[in-house]
Structure 1
Amino acid sequence: MSAVAWIAVVSLSAWGWLLLGQGFFWRTDQRLPDRAEPARWPSVAVVVPARNEAAVLPESLPSLLAQDYPGEAEIVLVDDCSDDGTGELARSLSARCGGLPLSVVTPGEPEPGWTGKLWALRHGIALARRQKPEFLLLTDADIAHEPDSLRELVRAAAGPPSDGAEDGAGGFDLVSQMARLRVTSTWERLVVPAFVYFFGQLYPFRWVNRARSRTAAAAGGCVLLRADAAERARIPESIRQAVIDDVTLAGAVQRGGGRIWLGLADRVDSVRPYPGLPDLWRMVSRSAYAQLRHSPLLLAATVVGLLLVYVAPPATLVAGLMAGDSAAAWAGGVAWVVMAGTYMPMLGYYRQSLWLAPLLPFTAVLYLLMTVDSAVQHHRGRGAAWKGRTYARPEAAPEP
């Protein structure tokens, strides 16, 4: 066979493994566990870190205030040095909407060694612990919740198994949902579903949700966490430098003996717009190199892997057709079909046209460029930049 044909065959083999051997990452059926209601609804403190979020709070905060939760619940919003009136707006919305009680705290600028979000969570959790809640709901300021969202999260974490199911019979210490991100603009349609698809490929939800699993991940926009599990794992102090804080948090809880669960959301949505490619580029590139542990070797491997897995199928198909190489065309075409097929469930979840599935190689190239740009910015000393703060060397804090 020709070199092009060999590349096509290797790519097809990779897709055969991804299809069947990577935890069926492409399926979208990991939703909140179906559990009975707990005999007693535990108390919950909702902690919301917020930095310059006045644009989205009118859509998100009222949904938290309006939670229909049978137990005790309160909201702590941490105004992380905003200069757009975030704290004042939160108080105004609380006074206007009523509902759950709201406290607003302003901790000041982060101390050295802390990322901004985790610094905010530190103070929000400390304030919440004065009331000794049994659960903490850590949710971002751009996340809107359906009225029964908190009830369903707690039921999934603390309720007894229904129908005699044994999975998670002892309950979960962390339940996290990947919020449904906004998909309105053309660039959002191209990039956002792929973001969740790639995340699931890195951290297959089925592997995360298995008992005694070694794969840990969470979605930072919506994390329900047992308070005692947070204390055992020293959250957030033990992860104070993490830029990819959700995955690092899940790993800390898991190492502390906690049981974790991650799935796609039906009642939780992000209202933050990413109308243009530059907005999405910043979202991805700020943490992409941190995901690779700031390793040039891992970056090089990622570049080769993405080209082989995502770009090679259409490239070898076209090259094979032009050169009359049937083996290259056949293997490349089949690999492209398998790739598109694995992407269709995610497009269906986001209610997007399935005709976007063959464009996944183009989107993968965009993510490849974003990752390379993330590495370039890191080596220029700009690190992970977000909302006016730059973390030159973001990484998980060392274990004590």
Structure 2
Amino acid sequence: MIVVRVVAGVALLVWAGLALCHGGFWRTGQRLPPRRTPPVWPSVAVVVPARDEADVLPLTLPGLLSQRYPGRARVVLVDDGSTDGTAAAAERLAREGGLPLTVTSPGPVPPGWTGKLWAVAHGVATAGEVDFLLLTDADIAHDPESLTALVEAAGERDLVSQMAVLRTETAWERLVVPAFVYFFAMLYPFRRVNRPGTRTAAAAGGCCLVRRTALERAGGVAAIRGAVIDDVALGTAIKRTGGRIWLGLADHVRSVRPYPTLGSLWRMISRSAYTQLRHSPLLLAGTVVGLALVFLVPPVLTVAGALLPDTPTCAFSAAAWLVMTLTFVPMLRYYRLNPAAAPLLPVTATLYLLMTLDSAVRHWRGRGAEWKGRHYSRG
């Protein structure tokens, strides 16, 4: 019983530390920095890697082409070996007018590169001598003022990245998606990412405005060519070479890609979970223990303490569960979901634990990360 009380007390201390001393990871107020009109509007190229995206381009590409940007801008869509008519769909949409569109193809992927980053590198090369590059995914929809807002917010920064609002239309999406962003912020607290001089660095791959000279100083896209989690790798490369970066939540940038079932969400998360742990069995074991202690112990010992009854165990665990719940409420509010669902976070954490284990098993079986027919056994 003493051991159980100690475990409950440790869980409470961990949650108190996370809530008070972990960069305010649970806060959702990190939005675009104050906007300032530049004296001269920089030139921008929007680079969109697209692999079999003909079905989503009608929902996203018109928004990019209709950007109301005062400076010189163009869109480069890189058809990454698509077989569904992605290039033709893009060219058809471009006939409706808007920013100039270039559709190009990078050719076969060289050894050591991921397909997406090879496409991005080709798009960057095609863009030529521009001041900024907006790297955005084909499933990301931008409001017409998105590019202007990003450039105005950039100022002297070298990378401005927004985590797009993800879809939460089905019950499974509402259960899993807000926790996905919450866990990402727990790994990479936005305030620490945005603070110069700290080692914490990350970006959100769906929307990254990067200064071309800073990208070149970091070694270009080639410096991260094998990264499966390319957004974090990009943010790290820019910050490590002296660049100023900013990461926050979006209001007018959203993903239209559906993940309607648990299976689709499972595949989306498990394909890179073990890569996040650098394929380390030791880190995997630590993650399993950590998830169990932080997310599963509080509700389990709350119920056990109430049934035994053991008042100290129940009180410590319930307090930890309460802190956990309160830190999750802002994310649910950001997604305009019912805060009453916040106590269910341990359920979602259990799913993430199982997804992480499944990701490791896939790696050990040689299947590794997979995306649209491509497999990456190593990160």
Q: TM-score, normalised by structure 2?
A: 0.99
Amino acid in structure 1 at the alignment position of 2:376: Y
Q: Structure 1 residue 143: deviation in Å?
A: 0.2
For 2:312 and 2:318, how far apart are their aligned partners in 1?
10
Match of 1:369 in 2: 354
Task: Please list every run of 5 or more consecutive structure 2 residues that lacks an aligned counterpart in the other structure.
Answer: none
Amino acid in structure 1 at the alignment position of 2:358: D
Q: Structure 1 residue 109: deviation in Å?
A: 2.4
Match of 1:75 in 2: 75
Within the candidate set 175, 196, 216, 2:201 is matched to 216
The answer to whether structure 1 residue 144 and structure 2 residue 146 are counterparts is: no
SS at match of 2:106: coil
For 1:392 and 1:19, how far apart are their aligned partners in 2?
36
User: 1:48-104, CA deviations, whole angstroms, 9 ceiling, x for partnerless residues?
Assistant: 000011111110000000100000000000000001111100000011x21000000
Match of 1:107 in 2: 106
Q: Structure 1 residue 267: deviation in Å?
A: 1.1
Amino acid in structure 2 at the alignment position of 1:135: F
Q: How does 1:283-362 map to 2 (within 5 A)?
A: 283-362=268-347
Within the candidate set 153, 163, 169, 1:184 is matched to 169
For 1:327 and 1:116, how far apart are their aligned partners in 2?
54
Match of 1:37 in 2: 37
SS at match of 1:334: helix
SS at match of 1:52: coil
SS at match of 2:316: helix
Q: Structure 1 residue 362: deviation in Å?
A: 0.3
For 1:72 and 1:350, how far apart are their aligned partners in 2?
34
> Are the counterparts in 2 of residues 281 and 370 from structure 1 also a CA contact under 8 Å?
yes
For 2:35 and 2:262, how far apart are their aligned partners in 1?
41
SS at match of 1:81: coil
For 1:35 and 1:184, how far apart are their aligned partners in 2?
32
Match of 2:191 in 1: 206
User: 1:101-147, CA deviations, whole angstroms, 9 ceiling, x for partnerless residues?
Assistant: 00001112211100011000010000001xx1100000000000011
SS at match of 1:360: helix
For 1:99 and 1:234, how far apart are their aligned partners in 2?
32
Match of 1:261 in 2: 246
For 1:42 and 1:311, how far apart are their aligned partners in 2?
50
SS at match of 2:208: strand
The answer to whether structure 1 residue 135 and structure 2 residue 132 are counterparts is: yes
> Are the counterparts in 2 of residues 4 and 320 from structure 1 also a CA contact under 8 Å?
no
> Are the counterparts in 2 of residues 47 and 76 from structure 1 also a CA contact under 8 Å?
yes
For 2:166 and 2:209, how far apart are their aligned partners in 1?
19
The answer to whether structure 1 residue 153 and structure 2 residue 147 are counterparts is: no
SS at match of 2:74: strand
For 2:108 and 2:344, how far apart are their aligned partners in 1?
43
For 1:56 and 1:79, how far apart are their aligned partners in 2?
14
For 1:384 and 1:245, how far apart are their aligned partners in 2?
13
Q: Structure 1 residue 391: deviation in Å?
A: 0.6
> Are the counterparts in 1 of residues 35 and 149 from structure 2 also a CA contact under 8 Å?
no
Q: How does 1:374-385 map to 2 (within 5 A)?
A: 374-385=359-370
> Are the counterparts in 2 of residues 7 and 316 from structure 1 also a CA contact under 8 Å?
no
SS at match of 1:287: helix
Q: Structure 1 residue 35: deviation in Å?
A: 2.7
For 1:343 and 1:75, how far apart are their aligned partners in 2?
37
SS at match of 1:147: coil
> Are the counterparts in 1 of residues 270 and 359 from structure 2 also a CA contact under 8 Å?
yes
**Identical aligned residues as a percent:** 63
Within the candidate set 220, 229, 232, 2:214 is matched to 229
For 1:369 and 1:55, how far apart are their aligned partners in 2?
31
Q: Structure 1 residue 268: deviation in Å?
A: 0.3
For 1:331 and 1:261, how far apart are their aligned partners in 2?
37
The answer to whether structure 1 residue 242 and structure 2 residue 241 are counterparts is: no
> Are the counterparts in 2 of residues 235 and 249 from structure 1 also a CA contact under 8 Å?
no
Q: Structure 1 residue 359: deviation in Å?
A: 0.3
Match of 1:282 in 2: 267
For 2:16 and 2:319, how far apart are their aligned partners in 1?
10
Match of 1:98 in 2: 97
- Detail structure 1 runs of 4+ shifted over 6 Å in the superposition: none
Task: Please list every run of 5 or more consecutive structure 1 residues that lacks an aligned counterpart in the other structure.
Answer: 159-170, 395-400
Q: Structure 1 residue 2: deviation in Å?
A: 2.5
For 2:3 and 2:338, how far apart are their aligned partners in 1?
35
Match of 1:66 in 2: 66
Match of 2:377 in 1: 392
Q: Structure 1 residue 10: deviation in Å?
A: 0.6
SS at match of 2:320: helix
Q: Structure 1 residue 213: deviation in Å?
A: 1.8
Amino acid in structure 1 at the alignment position of 2:9: V
SS at match of 2:103: strand
The count of residues paired between Structure 1 and Structure 2 equals: 379
